[in-house]
């Protein structure tokens, strides 16, 4: 089994390239079918977001898998392969697991700590699973990756600090007010940043939206998006009397809100007024901060919050890397168990332990000479060897195929290698089994035998 990954992201390709390589949900069944149709790709998951497109695959061979994915990408999207490879990265082997875990933990995102990527990877896996494009390896790998994402978000504070201007504004608003529920916001101007900030505030419970713009039709258009109310420009200060939060982003070259004009409205207020000035040049006279109960933050204040929070997220990112290391070790411990040598050794070991235990019980009931004891022991060895020779030989042969790890998984389940225990208590039998299996593997390494000797 060979893990390969071919992809591009915001780090390697501009948007005009990324948009050519997307896989919307409605085309994924067709794409996954085309990708896994041949003999080279056994399992596949396609992750497609606005910032990345990545093809994860279980391949028969590493080089063949990469070539198959490259051909698929170029053919499916009718692109020049030689031009396409300039923007792609290729990852193989153990590094694929680390890359996936870092992606799900949002350590590879444009905004470190963002929460959306975990949901996007889950959707990608669901599409692949529904299309029959995943098997034992990716079912295990991707489900474990979701646990990685959950652990990172619950055991670190990587997603708790705002790292965008709009989110920073919301974070500051929460510090000014005990709660945003039921608050009124006023959007002054119709810039994209003020609209995005308003959207985040509304999502936090703000109940009422007022929009003021020099062009009233534009104010009405924006107000409609938030089920709000458009206000005539010359009624700005009247509207401020009933407003809790102001988001200002106009193209004015002079102050739109001044200390002198705001003072009468601020004087008769019984609650704070929070002003967010995102405009450059600034819309709001900085002297309004002198007014009682008025709190003004401009773009530099917000940038300071973002930079501070980014530093905090980088500290949390280092903690997340430690969690990823633990999960990688766990995954490869499972994967190693799927390899043929430890699996065959474990089957032999289990048979040998059972043989010895049953032989010991029988010998206690029989009065045999030393010669007869050796004869009986040789007989039990012969029976075990003959019973296991065919299955283990076929298992070793099957392991060379692209579905080899599936046979390993099934064999371990059939022989109960994952849940063995005995009357001495949970795990006692398994511990004995592990010791015997290690002995067998070590002897096989030394002698190169084929596990044919009883008790080897």
**Which residues are tagged catalytic?**
50
C-alpha distances in angstroms, 90 versus 10, 65, 75? 15, 11, 18
For residue 283, give both structure tokens: 């819309």
| Surface-to-core class of residue 313, CB atoms within 10 Å of its CB (0-12 exposed, 13-18 middle, 19+ buried) | buried
Start-to-end Cα distance in the chain: 28
DSSP 241-272: TT-SEEEE----SS-SB-HHHHHHHHHT-SS-
Whether the Cβ atoms of residue 207 and residue 184 lie closer than 8 Å to each other: yes
The counts of H helices and E strands in the chain are: 17, 10
d(CA 434, CA 417): 10
- With b for 16 or more beta-carbon neighbours within 10 A and e for fewer, the 341-362 pattern comes to bbbbbbbbbbbbbbbbeebeee
Whose tokens are 């739109």? That residue is: 256
Do strands 2-9 and 89-92 pair parallel, antiparallel, or not at all (unpaired)? antiparallel
Q: Which helix (H) or strand (E) holds 80?
A: none
């Amino acid at each position: 089994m060979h893990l390969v990954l071919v992809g591009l992201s915001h780090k390697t390709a501009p948007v005009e390239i990324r948009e050519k390589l997307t896989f919307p949900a409605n085309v994924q069944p067709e794409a996954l079918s085309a990708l896994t149709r041949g003999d080279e790709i056994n399992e596949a998951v396609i992750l497609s977001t606005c910032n990345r497109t990545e093809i994860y695959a279980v391949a028969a061979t590493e080089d063949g898998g990469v070539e198959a994915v490259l051909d698929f990408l170029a053919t499916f999207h009718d692109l020049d392969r030689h031009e396409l490879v300039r923007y792609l990265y290729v990852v193989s082997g153990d590094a694929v697991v680390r890359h996936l875990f870092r992606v799900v933990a949002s350590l590879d995102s444009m905004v470190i700590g963002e929460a959306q990527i975990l949901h996007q990877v889950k959707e990608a896996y669901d599409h692949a699973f529904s299309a029959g494009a995943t098997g034992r390896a990716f079912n295990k790998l991707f489900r474990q990756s979701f646990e990685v994402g959950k652990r990172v978000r619950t055991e670190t504070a990587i997603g708790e600090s705002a790292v965008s201007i709009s989110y920073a504004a919301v974070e500051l608003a929460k510090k000014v007010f005990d709660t945003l529920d039921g608050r009124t916001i006023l959007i002054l101007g119709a810039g994209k940043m003020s609209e995005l900030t308003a959207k985040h505030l509304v999502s936090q419970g703000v109940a009422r939206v007022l929009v003021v713009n020099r062009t009233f039709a534009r104010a009405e258009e924006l107000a409609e998006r938030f089920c709000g109310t458009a206000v005539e420009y010359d009624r700005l200060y009247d509207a401020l009397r009933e407003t809790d939060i102001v988001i200002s982003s106009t193209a004015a070259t002079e102050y739109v809100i001044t200390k002198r004009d705001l003072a009468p409205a601020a004087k008769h207020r019984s609650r704070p007024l929070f002003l967010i000035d995102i405009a450059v040049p600034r819309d709001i006279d900085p002297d309004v901060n002198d007014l009682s109960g008025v709190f003004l933050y401009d773009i530099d204040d917000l940038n300071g919050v973002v930079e501070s929070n980014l530093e905090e997220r980088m500290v949390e990112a280092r903690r997340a890397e430690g969690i990823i290391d633990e999960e990688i070790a766990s995954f490869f411990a499972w994967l190693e168990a799927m390899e043929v040598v430890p699996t065959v050794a474990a089957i032999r070991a289990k048979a040998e332990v059972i043989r010895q235990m049953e032989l010991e019980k029988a010998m206690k009931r029989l009065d045999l000479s030393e010669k007869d004891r050796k004869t009986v022991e040789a007989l039990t060895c012969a029976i075990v060897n003959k019973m296991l020779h065919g299955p283990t030989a076929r298992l070793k042969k099957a392991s060379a195929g692209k579905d080899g790890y599936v046979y390993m998984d099934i064999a371990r389940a059939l022989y109960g290698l994952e849940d063995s225990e005995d009357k001495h208590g949970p795990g006692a039998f398994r511990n004995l089994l592990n010791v015997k299996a290690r002995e067998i593997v070590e002897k096989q390494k030394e002698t190169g035998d084929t596990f044919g000797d009883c008790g080897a």
